[in-house]
């Protein structure tokens, strides 16, 4: 790596000039800012105390000596205490020649270490997937692929929340107002039918609460006394007691939802290596809670509920089991974490969950530590911000969510309209055009969401995302297709790719090679930071630099055969990296646009 060569060279020169080794963590090279000449820059202010000279003198002396002793340093310049180094074309050409045929460029071989578990999606079976789930799924899938590319063995898991009071609400509503509707006889996706029942429950509950409130009952008391809530709680208790009729209805309605989820996941392009179900794991959590009571880590209140006292850790008391013996989310998370730890012995347990659950995961780790689980520190919460819309936040109970299927429909339709207006699907068969609209629509959606740092709340704008110019998925896809067209023409013209024999670079060629050179570092940073945004924004930079190269330099019209062959290879290498990096985001790259 270039940085390692420069660090070793700088250190050697520094010892030679000043008789003392610099502090290692202070020898840091960064990319030179665009307004200065150079490729790499180091700040020399930290070395003034050792060298006993001004920053400008230190930078000049080191720069001159590095130019003399390190062949890849062609020139240098000093701006105050900043030493800017210009790397020779020979280095960049050597890098290019060594890597342009490498189909796995930037990717690391898988190590033999314990696997990383990445949990994402985690839907409830009382509603279809919505825009919030879209960000969760795309983020979880992409982070998993990025970690794989960095050499980790990754196991993608999904924990389906298939039991609890929210599920009983949909079941009760179907019994009362469902009129025996099924996905088949009502011609509706099963997850949407169940979601409609959940919304209906909330609507009817609000009417009951209004009546109770009108009779003078306080709001918090009204919720406890509302007949619908009482029935839902009774159904939950019957479920946990194994009531056959309740269990059969539960299995039937959940099967509807699973079929709906599977169709949405397939269309979205995400998958899982293993699916867990809360109904199968919550009892494991109960066992852990009982263990905690026996060992004195947890305590039982007079009403029979079980708690963990976290006040000494700066938190509060946390409920782990209700007085009636039913579980809470924390119960099943304890059980599922233990199950995965025993099953896979993972190096990391990464949970992709929104930032409203930050406290929940702080508590999860603390409780497991108190229960003497040595692997508790391997738990990592990949916290992400919510997706907002111009009209405000989404509310599942009120049915004001952006449905994931409808969103994908809208993206594909928008892509179709814009593509046809620009004539990019002319002369395509219907099947080819349909595939293109899907690739552009889903590519736009994935890129728009993943280019934002996960920690940030984001505003989603479908129209803005499907733009063939600017920092968008379609711009990157079009660049890939443009290169494909150029490479096909080169073959038609009888031009064969051969090894590079040029000895110097045009500035635009060098800029493009530098960008390709950055990919392994960007990929590593994306994995370390669990952020697909590093990859997304790199893709934009690479596509932008290619298009500038394409506009300013002749390629197929180049008369010098060596330059022609080199530029064809450079185009091919760029297309390869665009495709590989885009796949880490789940984006498909069209061959024609």
What is the tens place of the pLDDT at every residue in 124-180? 999 999 988 999 999 999 999 999 999 999 999 999 999 889 999 999 999 999 999
Per-residue pLDDT for 420 more than 60?
A: yes
Cα separation values, 446 from 546, 549, 573, 588, Å: 22, 27, 24, 10
Q: What is the pLDDT of residues 86-125, one digit of tens each?
A: 999 999 999 999 999 999 999 999 988 899 999 999 999 9
Residue 398's pLDDT is 46
Give the whole-angstrom CA distance, residue 299 versus residue 309: 8
| CATH assignment, 120-388 | 3.40.50.620
Query: For 268-277, 292-301, 466-475, which range has the lowest pLDDT when averaged over its residues?
Result: 466-475
Report the chain's C-alpha Rg in angstroms.
29
pLDDT band at 500 (very low <50, low <70, confident <90, very high): low
Per-residue pLDDT for 397 more than 50?
A: no
Residue 151's pLDDT is 97
- Into which CATH architecture does domain 405-583 fall? Orthogonal Bundle (1.10)
Q: What is the pLDDT of residues 24-44, one digit of tens each?
A: 999 999 999 989 999 999 999
Q: Top-level CATH class of 2-87?
A: alpha beta
Per-residue pLDDT for 231 more than 70?
A: yes
pLDDT band at 427 (very low <50, low <70, confident <90, very high): confident
Give the whole-angstrom CA distance, residue 123 versus residue 134: 11
Cα 434 from chain centre: 27
Q: What is the pLDDT of residues 76-85, one digit of tens each?
A: 999 999 999 9
Mean pLDDT of 7-31: 95
Residue 465's pLDDT is 79
Q: Which residues neighbour 588 within 8 Å (Cβ) at sequence distance 6 or greater?
A: 269, 439, 442, 443, 582
Strands (E) in 233-362, as ranges, are 274-277, 299-300, 306-309, 317-321, 348-354
pLDDT band at 211 (very low <50, low <70, confident <90, very high): very high
Residue 400's pLDDT is 54
Give the whole-angstrom CA distance, residue 373 versus residue 171: 37
Q: Which residue has the tokens 């907002």?
A: 388
Per-chain mean pLDDT for the chain: 93
Buried b (16+ CB within 10 A) or exposed e, 327-349: bbebbbbbbbbbebbeebebebb
Residue spans per domain, the chain: 2-87, 120-388, 405-583
In the chain, the largest separation of any two C-alpha atoms, in whole Å, equals 91
């Amino acid at each position: 790596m270039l940085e390692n060569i420069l660090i070793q060279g700088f250190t050697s020169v520094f010892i030679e000039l000043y008789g003392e080794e610099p502090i290692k963590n202070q020898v840091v090279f960064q990319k030179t800012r665009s307004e200065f000449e150079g490729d790499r820059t180091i700040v020399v202010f930290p070395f003034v105390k050792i060298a006993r000279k001004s920053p400008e003198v230190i930078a000049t002396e080191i720069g001159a000596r590095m130019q003399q002793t390190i062949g890849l340093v062609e020139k240098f310049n000093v701006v105050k205490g900043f030493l800017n180094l210009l790397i020779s074309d020979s280095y960049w050409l050597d890098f290019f020649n060594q890597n342009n045929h490498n189909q796995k460029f930037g990717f690391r071989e898988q190590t033999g270490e314990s696997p990383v578990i990445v949990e994402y999606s985690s839907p409830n079976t009382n509603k279809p997937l919505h825009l919030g789930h879209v960000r969760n799924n795309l983020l979880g899938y992409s982070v998993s692929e990025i970690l794989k590319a960095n050499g980790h063995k990754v196991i993608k898991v999904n924990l389906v929340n298939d039991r609890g009071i929210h599920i009983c609400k949909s079941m009760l509503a179907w019994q009362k107002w469902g009129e025996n509707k099924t996905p088949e006889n009502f011609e509706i996706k099963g997850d949407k039918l169940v979601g409609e029942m959940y919304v209906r429950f909330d609507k009817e509950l609000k009417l009951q609460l209004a009546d109770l409130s009108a009779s003078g009952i306080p709001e918090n008391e009204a919720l406890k006394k509302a007949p619908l809530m009482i029935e839902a709680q009774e159904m939950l208790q019957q479920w946990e007691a194994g009531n056959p009729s309740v269990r059969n209805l539960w299995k039937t309605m959940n099967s509807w939802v699973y079929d709906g989820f599977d169709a949405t996941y397939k269309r979205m392009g995400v998958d899982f290596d293993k699916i867990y179900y809360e109904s199968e794991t919550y009892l494991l959590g109960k066992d852990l809670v009982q263990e905690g009571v026996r060992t004195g880590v947890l305590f039982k209140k007079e009403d029979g509920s079980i708690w963990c006292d976290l006040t000494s850790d700066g938190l509060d008391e946390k409920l782990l089991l209700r007085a009636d013996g039913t579980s809470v989310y924390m119960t099943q998370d304890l059980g599922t974490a233990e199950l995965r730890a025993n099953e896979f012995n993972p190096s990391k347990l990464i949970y992709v969950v929104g930032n409203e659950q930050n406290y929940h995961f702080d508590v999860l780790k603390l409780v497991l530590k108190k229960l003497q689980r040595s692997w508790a520190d391997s738990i990592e919460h990949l916290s992400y911000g919510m997706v907002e819309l111009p009209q405000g936040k989404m509310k599942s109970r009120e049915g004001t969510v952006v449905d994931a299927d409808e969103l994908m429909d809208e993206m594909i339709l928008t892509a179709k309209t814009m593509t046809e207006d620009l004539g990019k699907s002319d002369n395509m068969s219907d099947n080819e055009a349909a595939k293109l609209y899907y690739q552009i629509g889903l590519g736009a959606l994935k890129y728009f969401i993943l280019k934002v740092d996960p920690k940030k709340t984001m505003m989603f704008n479908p129209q803005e995302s499907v733009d063939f110019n600017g920092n968008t998925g379609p711009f990157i896809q079009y660049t890939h297709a443009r290169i494909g067209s150029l490479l096909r023409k080169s073959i038609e013209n009888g031009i064969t790719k051969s090894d590079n024999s040029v000895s110097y670079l045009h500035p635009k060629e060098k800029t493009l090679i530098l960008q390709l050179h950055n990919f392994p570092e960007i990929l590593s940073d994306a994995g370390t930071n669990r952020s697909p945004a590093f990859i997304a924004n790199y893709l934009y930079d690479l596509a932008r630099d290619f298009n500038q190269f394409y506009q300013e330099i002749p390629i197929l019209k180049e008369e010098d055969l060596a330059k022609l062959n080199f530029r064809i290879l450079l185009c091919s290498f760029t297309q390869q990296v665009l495709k590989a990096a885009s796949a880490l985001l789940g984006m498909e790259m069209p061959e024609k646009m």
